[in-house]
Amino acid sequence: MTLANLSWFAKYQPQKIEEYVFDDPTHEAQINLWLKEGSVPGNLLLSGPPGTGKSALASVLIHNFIKVPNDFKKIKSRSVQEIDELQSFVKSRPIQSKKKIVLLEEIDKLSATSITTLKDAYLELYQSNTTFIATTNYPNKIEPAFKTRFIHMSFSGKNIEGVTRRCKDILISENIVFNEDDLKKFIENKHKLGLRNIITLLQVNSINNKLDFSNINQEISNSEDDIINNTLSIYETLIKSNNINDKRLILFNPLSSSISAQYGFILQTIQFSQDLYWDNVFMEIYEKTSFLPIKHLAARYLDEVEIKKIPSVHFIAFLYESIKSIIDLY
Ligand SMILES: Nc1ncnc2c1ncn2[C@@H]1O[C@H](COP(=O)(O)OP(=O)(O)OP(=O)(O)O)[C@@H](O)[C@H]1O
Ligand SMILES: [Mg+2]
């Protein structure tokens, strides 16, 4: 495969720290300091939704810090055996780099046994030899005692200015004609999708070297946002409604009640979307509602989502309880 027919997000994976969009200026200052020093003083946990730059940052750091391949190890299977076998790697001194690095992607998928091994045997004991760089989409799934062994940086893609600058650089490199105001508006609306998705949208909508935004806004919607907005809209409908029969219907047969449109849309979104970022759904509902019983429920369900086998069923249970909390009051 040549560079020309790669997807843009792969082609433009940051090679240098200058190409990386930081979410937060404090992260930027911190990382630049470590780059100057040649190592991370501890272990690093990078968390956030898909495509916000966790692996990209890890990769820039590894390229800068690792001087010989033998000073680096990427965990592949996360099996108990693979974690056990790390022992000899983390114990020995680095060959040429200041510190060795172990990259552990999707750390939330580690088994309890592996977490115990890491926590009790490796993370602190061998800090002077080895830095663990871990990534996750689900920081809330990680046991607090384990998490405190890391310096935690969480990303949300909120640096609109930085994202816009990066997109402009890519479009210019690709010789794409675009309208700057449209680009700004697009990124303001969609930055939460993460840079990977944003770059892909720019690529698929750049036809004959011209970026055409006319299809973008209808084409994409963020499933988590759809669920959040429809849930909030259900609450609003409920607060306004004073029809007793409808309230019954809402609990017993929501699809033929006054919330049928929003409820149907939520079910459909859940059915057709994979890998929804449920932490975000509960967190935003928590933030966007002022109704205390719902805040309380959202916080509780957010806490529990990590141990649920089927998070969508967990969400429907939340929806039921939150609807009931409004009906009970009004
Ligand atoms: N903060 C960023 N700065 C520059 N480029 C980025 C950034 N975030 C994402 N990208 C672009 O998107 C691509 C994918 O990003 P990356 O692989 O780092 O995402 P991720 O956060 O690890 O996602 P996942 O949770 O799916 O593993 C990168 O190769 C890069 O082109
Ligand atoms: Mg990644």
56 Cβ closer than 6 Å to some ligand 1 atom? yes
Which regions of the chain does DSSP assign to beta strands (E)? 43-47, 72-74, 100-104, 130-136, 150-154, 206-207, 210-211
> So what's the pLDDT on residue 168?
98
156 Cβ closer than 6 Å to some ligand 1 atom? no
CA distance 262 to 264: 5
Other residues' Cβ atoms within 10 Å of the Cβ of residue 329: 10
Q: How far is ligand 2, taken at its centre, from the CA of residue 305, in Å?
A: 21
Q: pLDDT truncated to tens, each residue of the chain (330 aa)?
A: 455 568 999 999 999 999 999 999 999 999 999 999 999 999 999 999 889 999 999 999 999 999 999 999 999 999 999 999 999 999 999 999 999 999 999 999 899 999 999 999 898 888 889 999 999 988 888 889 999 999 999 998 889 999 999 999 999 999 999 999 999 999 988 888 899 989 998 998 898 899 998 877 544 567 888 999 999 999 999 988 878 788 888 988 898 889 999 999 999 888 877 778 898 899 999 999 999 999 999 999 999 988 888 899 999 999 999 999 998 887
Residue 18's DSSP bridge partners are none
Q: How far is ligand 2, taken at its centre, from the CA of residue 273, in Å?
A: 19
Residue 46's DSSP bridge partners are 135, 153
157 Cβ closer than 6 Å to some ligand 1 atom? no
Q: Which residue has the tokens 């990209």?
A: 56
User: Whose alpha carbon is nearest atom 24 of ligand 1?
Assistant: 50
CATH, domain range 22-154: 3.40.50.300
99 Cβ closer than 6 Å to some ligand 1 atom? no
What number of CA atoms fall less than 13 Å from residue 71's CA on the CB side? 20
38 Cβ closer than 6 Å to some ligand 1 atom? no
> So what's the pLDDT on residue 135?
97
Could you give phi then psi for residue 132, rounded to 5 degrees?
-95, 125
Q: Kindly list the domain boundaries of the chain, sorted by start residue.
A: 22-154, 160-215, 223-329
> So what's the pLDDT on residue 1?
45
Q: Are 41 and 150 in contact (CB under 8 A)?
A: no
Query: What pTM, to 2 d.p., does this model score?
Result: 0.76
Q: How far is ligand 1, taken at its centre, from the CA of residue 29, in Å?
A: 19
User: Whose alpha carbon is nearest atom 28 of ligand 1?
Assistant: 13
196 Cβ closer than 6 Å to some ligand 1 atom? yes
